[in-house]
Amino acid sequence: MNIRQFLDARVAAALVEAGAPQGSSGMVRPSARANFGDYQANGIMPVAKRQGINPRELAARVVDGLQVELAGVVDKLEVAGPGFINIFLKPEWLASQLEQAYTSERSGVDSAPETQTIVVDLSAPNVAKEMHVGHLRSTVIGDAVSRTLEFLGHKVIRANHLGDWGTQFGMLIAHLEEVQKDNPDVMESELSDLEQFYRESKQHYDNDPEFAKRARNYVVKLQGGDTWCLEMWKTLVDVTMVQNQRTYERLNVAITPEDTMGESMYNPMLPGIIEELKAKGLAVEDDGAMVVFLEEFKNKEGEPMGVIVQKRDGAFLYTTTDIACAKYRYETLGADRVLYYIDARQTQHLQQAWTVVRKAGFVPNNVPLEHHAFGVMLGKDGKPFKTRSGGTVKLSDLLDEAGNRASALIASKNPQMDAEQQAEVSNAVAIGAVKYSDLSKNRTTDYVFDWDNMLSFEGNTAPYLQYAYTRIRSIFRKAGVAEGELSGNLVIVDPAERVLAAKLVQFNEVVDNVAREGTPHLLCAYLYELSGAFMSFYEACPVNKDGVDKAVRASRLKLCALVARELKLGLGLLGIDVVEQM
């Protein structure tokens, strides 16, 4: 139980004791400002309103009840404004919490009381296309949330919903057949540039009717299970995934080939889905196609929108696959919850698929299907992020540029550092910066990609946090002790120590929030505030200076150790490495 939940439960109990109905909530939240205490209980006013009593009086009664209960925990409880309660935690209690965190292997973060099976739909690039910046968000946010859920003890299934099916495969197979004629080792050479391969196939298809005819024939054969077509298709899938796997490794995301659950995987389920939808009276024939009409969505004429689940020619659609996929995740994978990291343009698609899923009873309502949407990446000019020639930016090129920029930066800051260490630090900074700039934003709308901002050592950036970590490592080197071997008690005296301690104890709560909301930017914001509190503490409270009392020094080192651990663990949950020096 994190501190917010702990206080919430206490306030709720006191509320009930003071006459509120069972189940009333304390609505405890971290306070927005220090003079409102560490936490604030907002649950009194709604109860008072419902009962027609004076909220300040009710708040006073709740405070009376809490006084004894929280004697060892709080310094002060005060009724504020129209009926809030401000909660000021005792420094001694904060210190005892931190002593516990210091000895715990999990930096004070509790495991989830109930573990769930959680499917995370992430990355999902497309076959025969290179991963581009649009897939970055889904990949890194999905991975960070997966890591966080795993850390809390949940069983996480990363589902890489690879775009590996569709009519384009006819033309891709036909093109592959041709290039293979001239070059049997095409896998190594031509296909290294998937974008170009795709473009050439498309050109060929558009300009050569003979080729187009063959391509269409291959689609039919592929769908019919033709062995040769399937082999050619598999070649395309494999080549793509070998390249993507390299990108995943560079990005330091924990996605493996076993996580691939592409669209094609659901093909065998699709005829059965249509049968069930028909039997349940949901799918009806409309002009030869199978359609589900949804009252929940209206078309331009204001009539229920028809969602096609099977075309006239028998082909299934992207939506049909997502219907089957949700069913599979619940039925076969045993999901208690499914998180989808997909860009905002697919909102309506998902909502329609899930409306059908719920109506058909494929996934019960108590199993949430959550769309975590995000916008597209914009350049500094506010226009979609593109290469100079107007093409989509390949992820691998983006990472190359990040590497070059970070190397130059680290070399200029640390000319004395040896080449090997420089390379290690630059890599951690480059990858960290790119991922963090994405992870730290809470935007469902579009967002601006800005090299200078993300590589800055100031502000809410990866290098800033990585730098804060190295500061602490150097404090320990100077002190000549190891982080894990500190003795002596933690004592909170200075106001800057208190601010830092109050921040440190929120870690548990923040990790819980990330897991619940599926939003890593909360963790980023926390780590940034923590680093800020650390920097202020370090300015106000010397550690290694001459004249600092031994016990004070030991206590301050413990605070430093806790900050370092939270930074390392927190960045680790985001999939970002720390370094010893930079």
| Piece of the chain touching ligand ARG by CB under 6 A; list 97-105, 120-128, 173-181, 307-315 | 120-128
Nearer to ligand ARG, 348 or 474 (CB): 348
The least distance separating ligand ARG from the CB of residue 498, rounded to whole angstroms, comes to 46
Asked if 247 touches ligand ARG (CB under 6 A), the answer is no
Strands 337-343 and 369-374: parallel
Instruction: Pick from 152, 342, 504, 522 the residue near ligand ARG by CB under 6 A.
Output: 342
In sequence order, the β-bridge partners of residue 275 are none
Q: Give least dist CB 10 to ligand ARG, A.
A: 42
> What angle, rounded to 10 degrees, do the helices at 91-103 and 550-573 form?
60
Instruction: Return phi, psi of residue 292, to 5°.
Output: -110, 120
Among 43, 163, 432, 575, which residue sits at the site for ligand ARG (rule: CB under 6 A)?
A: 163
Q: Rounded to an integer, what distance in angstroms lies between the CA atom of residue 37 and that of residue 32?
A: 9
Closer CB to ligand ARG, residue 144 or residue 342?
Answer: 342
- Shortest distance (Å) from residue 245 CB to ligand ARG: 17
Contacts of residue 179, Cβ cutoff 8 Å, sequence gap at least 6: 186, 190, 197
b/e 38-55 (16+ beta carbons within 10 angstroms → b): bbbbbbbbebbeeeeeeb
- Using the minimum distance from each CB to ligand ARG, give the nearer residue, 205 or 266: 266
| Residue 325 or 533 having the CB closest to ligand ARG | 325
CB 400 → ligand ARG: shortest distance, Å? 22
Report how many residues bind ligand ARG under the rule CB under 6 A: 9
The residue among 126 and 506 lying less far from ligand ARG, judged by its C-beta, is: 126
Q: Does 130 bind ligand ARG (CB under 6 A)?
A: no
Residue 352 interacts with ligand ARG (CB under 6 A): yes or no? no
- Compute φ and ψ for 154, nearest 5 degrees: -75, 155
Residue closer to ligand ARG (CB basis): 55 or 134: 134
> Which of the ranges 33-41, 119-127, 410-418, 432-440 carries the binding residues for ligand ARG, by CB under 6 A?
119-127
CB of 158 to ligand ARG, least distance (A): 12
Q: Can residue 126 be called a binding residue for ligand ARG (CB under 6 A)? A: yes
Find the binder of ligand ARG among 130, 143, 322, 497 (CB under 6 A): 322
Q: Does 26 bind ligand ARG (CB under 6 A)?
A: no
Residue 512: CB minimum distance to ligand ARG, A: 26
**Is residue 168 a contact residue for ligand ARG (CB under 6 A)?**
no
Q: Please, what is the minimum distance in Å from the beta carbon of residue 23 to ligand ARG?
A: 37
**Residue 161 binds ligand ARG, judged by CB under 6 A:** yes
Residue 262 binds ligand ARG, judged by CB under 6 A: no
CA dihedral 53, 55, 61, 66 (to 10 degrees): 140
Nearer to ligand ARG, 19 or 334 (CB): 334
Sign of CA dihedral 41, 43, 46, 49: negative
Residue 136's identity, in one-letter code, is L
Task: Please state the closest distance from residue 308 (CB atom) to ligand ARG, in A.
Answer: 16
Q: How far is the CB of 391 from ligand ARG (least distance, A)?
A: 17
DSSP conformation letters of 244-266 = HHHHHHHHT----GGGB--GGGG
Between CA 493 and CA 49 the distance in angstroms is 41
- Residue 112, both tokens: 């989830």
DSSP per-residue letters across 450-511: -HHHHT-SSSSSHHHHHHHHHHHHHHHHHHT--TT---S-----SHHHHHHHHHHTTHHHHH
Q: Is 164 in the site for ligand ARG (CB under 6 A)?
A: no
Which is nearer to ligand ARG, 342 or 500 (by Cβ)? 342
SS3 label, residue 19: coil
121 lines the binding site for ligand ARG (CB under 6 A):
yes
Reading the block at residue 377, the tokens are: 């990446």
Torsion of CA 293, 299, 302, 304, to 10 degrees: 10
Q: How far is the CB of 359 from ligand ARG (least distance, A)?
A: 19
Find, among 306, 262, 327, the residue nearest to 128 by Cα: 262
Q: What is the rounded distance in angstroms from the CA atom of residue 364 to the CA atom of residue 369? A: 10
Binding of ligand ARG by 405 (CB under 6 A): no
Binding-site ranges for ligand ARG (CB under 6 A): 121, 124, 126, 161, 163, 322, 325, 340, 342
